[in-house]
Amino acid sequence: MTAAQLTARRAGPLKGRVRAPGDKSISHRALILGALATGETTIEGLLEGEDVLRTAAAMAAFGAEVERLGGGRWRVRGLGGFAEPGDVIDCGNAGTGVRLILGAAAGFDLSVTFTGDESLRGRPMRRVLKPLGEMGATWTARSGERLPLTLRGGGLKHIAYRLPEPSAQVKSAVLLAGLHADGGAEVVEPEATRDHTERMLRAFGAQVEVADEGRERRIVVAGGQALVGTAVRAPGDPSSAAFPLVAALITPGSEVTVEGVLLNPLRIGLLETLREMGADLSVTNLREEGGEPVGDVTARHSRLRGVVVPPERAPSMIDEYPILGVAAAFAEGPTVMRGLAELRVKESDRIALMAAGLAACGVGVEEEPEGLTVIGTVRGAHGVAGGARVATHGDHRIAMSHLVLGLASEAPVAVDQPGMIATSFPGFVALMQGLGGEIEAAPLPEA
Ligand code: S3P
């Protein structure tokens, strides 16, 4: 049975070495490319969170043989393409899952219906449907351009597409469709976003051209390329590692090391920002694993100061703003975060929910249409009050961020719908408890 609430309270320092779960972005892509390829793909360190398990089930529905070998090891035998599934594809809470699979499926002569949970059914799909439509795919949706919708793929033609918003999901959808389009596909990003699709396509034997043109990036894939199964290793997810690392930074006396964290330059915006805030962060054992830079990251309790986060850094830390908001709450002086329009269409409206959650915990915040300023603590004054029940609207990162806050605030903090944490970080509570964090399945004690 899943608890209705989880409560975090301040205890001693956090100490220890842990491994973050496998990277969510890489895990989705490994399953999808494995299913599109011919031959065998083995995946080590796959994130066995609910989002990724939905993608695994979807790949089986499209005809791939998908086997869980245990201990995060998986085997996929692809057909070299997708067959029409016999049933609706339910992507649960996963925006990445559905958008990438829409792109991959569009390349084949099939019809398929996609749906998701309440949050995913409310999220915009036009961003992928527009370019896929220009390539020749068609769809019908019950209401607007949202799930549930039925896609008809096949007969795609070339597209040269300039992304209106920096989105690795949309880029990836177009590139995956381009693999099976006459003439391939070209995507121009206004700012570079995570490039795991490009890197992994190469590992599966595809040719992908990438050219930087000022801040823009142009990516070209030729059509008719066959993928060949390969061995993939998913490193630790920096977006998950962020929670124990920030918890250590804000809890006096703490020192925590997260091992094997993916340090792709397009994913480390949070680490850069925390360093600018004065965080004591160090990386050791820097190495390359499966074409991606990986290292062990150590965080020690630090006196943080507020900063202005450059808006152009947003794509490299887009999922980390909620936990940055928590770090900012414990920093001296304001932290200004702008250029965050995309945060309003994530698993929840993350600007609104962080503003509400932090305010409920006694933190000064100013919400803007595309930004958030966290006022931070004042030297000599008390720390963060806490003492709130936070409504997460089923958003895993809103839940984990406020639990981390509760580990260092004066009064405990409770979050609702904690079961959703399993979408991206199934072992979060046990991992934090192992470091000494007090998180329990109980409501907030009455004041
Ligand atoms: C992801 C891209 C980002 C990110 C998401 C994972 C990916 O979304 O928020 O969690 O794996 O491509 P957008 O592409 O919508 O920015």
For 304, which DSSP code? -
CA quadruple 332, 338, 343, 348: dihedral sign: positive
In the prediction, which pLDDT does 244 show?
Answer: 98
Other beta carbons within 10 Å of 100: 29
To test ligand 1's pocket by mutation, which of 24, 25, 349 has the most ligand atoms within 8 angstroms of CB? 25
Domains 3-22+235-441 and 24-233 share a fold: yes
CA nearest neighbour of 298 among 262, 257, 259, 263: 257
168 in contact with ligand 1, CB cutoff 6 A = yes
pLDDT digits (tens, 9 = 90+) for 248-271: 999 999 999 999 999 999 999 999
The secondary structure of residue 83, as a DSSP letter, is: P
Q: Could you identify the atom of ligand 1 that is nearest to the CA of residue 318?
A: 9
Q: Where does residue 428 rank: exposed (0-12), middle (13-18), buried (19+ CB within 10 A)?
A: buried
The token duo for 118 is 């309440």
HSE-up (13 A, CA, CB side) for residue 381: 14
Is the beta carbon of 423 within 6 A of some atom in ligand 1?
A: no
Among 81, 75, 85, 29, smallest CA distance to 52 is for: 29
Cα of 96 to ligand 1 centre, how many Å?
6
How remote is the CA of residue 316 from the centroid of ligand 1, in Å? 10
- CATH 3.65.10.10 is the classification of domain 3-22+235-441: yes
**194 in contact with ligand 1, CB cutoff 6 A:** yes
Q: Whose CA is nearest to atom 9 of ligand 1?
A: 319
- What angle do helix axes 50-61 and 95-106 make, rounded to 10 degrees? 20
Global pTM value:
0.97
Q: Is 195 known to be catalytic?
A: no
Contact between residue 110 and residue 156 where contact means Cβ atoms under 8 Å apart? no
Those residues whose C-beta lies under 8 Å from the C-beta of residue 231, and which sit 6 or more positions away, are 41, 42, 43, 44, 290
| C-alpha of residue 55 to centroid of ligand 1, in Å | 15
Q: Which two tokens stand for residue 27?
A: 């895990």
- The tokens describing 87, both together, are 């049933």
Per-residue pLDDT at 381: 58
Q: Which of 195, 319, 395, 416 is catalytic?
A: 319
Length of the chain, please? Answer: 447
Residue of 144, 170, 143, 173 whose CA lies nearest to 156: 173
Cα–Cα distance for residue pair 267/90, rounded to 1 Å? 28
The closest alpha carbon to 88, from 54, 114, 62, 118, belongs to 114
Three-state secondary structure string covering 244-269: HHHHHHHCCCCEEEEEEEECCHHHCH
Question: Helix, strand, or coil here: 174?
Answer: helix
Q: How is the beta sheet containing 335-338 ordered, strand by strand?
A: 308-309, 335-338, 371-374, 365-368
Three-state DSSP class for 280? strand
Q: Parallel, antiparallel, or unpaired for β 89-90 and 111-115?
A: parallel
Show the DSSP H helices in 253-395 as ranges: 269-276, 321-329, 350-360
CA of 167 to the centre of ligand 1 (A): 6
Give the start-to-end residue ranges of the domains of the chain: 3-22+235-441, 24-233
Q: Which among 204, 220, 267 is positioned nearest to 30, based on CA atoms? A: 204
Per-residue pLDDT reduced to its tens digit, 316-351: 999 999 999 999 999 999 999 999 999 999 999 999
Residues whose CB falls within 8 Å of the CB of residue 156, separated by 6 or more in sequence, listed in order: 106, 107, 135, 136, 137, 177, 178, 180, 181, 182, 223
Q: What pLDDT score does 50 carry? A: 96
Note the pLDDT of residue 379.
56
Any ligand 1 atom below 6 A from CB of 25: yes
For the domain spanning 24-233, the CATH number is 3.65.10.10
Q: What is the pLDDT of residue 1?
A: 41
Per-residue pLDDT of the chain (447 residues; tens, 9 = 90+): 467 899 999 999 999 999 999 999 999 999 999 999 999 999 999 999 999 999 999 999 999 999 999 999 999 999 999 999 999 999 999 999 999 999 999 999 999 999 999 999 999 999 999 999 999 999 999 878 999 999 999 999 999 999 999 999 999 999 999 999 999 999 999 999 999 999 999 999 999 999 999 989 999 999 999 999 999 999 999 999 999 999 999 999 999 999 999 999 999 999 999 999 999 999 999 999 888 999 999 999 999 999 999 999 999 999 999 999 999 999 999 999 999 999 999 999 999 999 999 999 999 999 999 999 999 876 545 689 999 999 999 999 999 999 999 999 999 999 999 999 999 999 999 999 999 999 999 888 765
CA atoms of 376 and 337, how far apart (whole Å): 13
Q: Are strands 5-9 and 413-416 parallel, antiparallel or unpaired?
A: antiparallel
What is the CA(169)–ligand 1 centre distance, in A? Answer: 5
Amino acid at 224: G
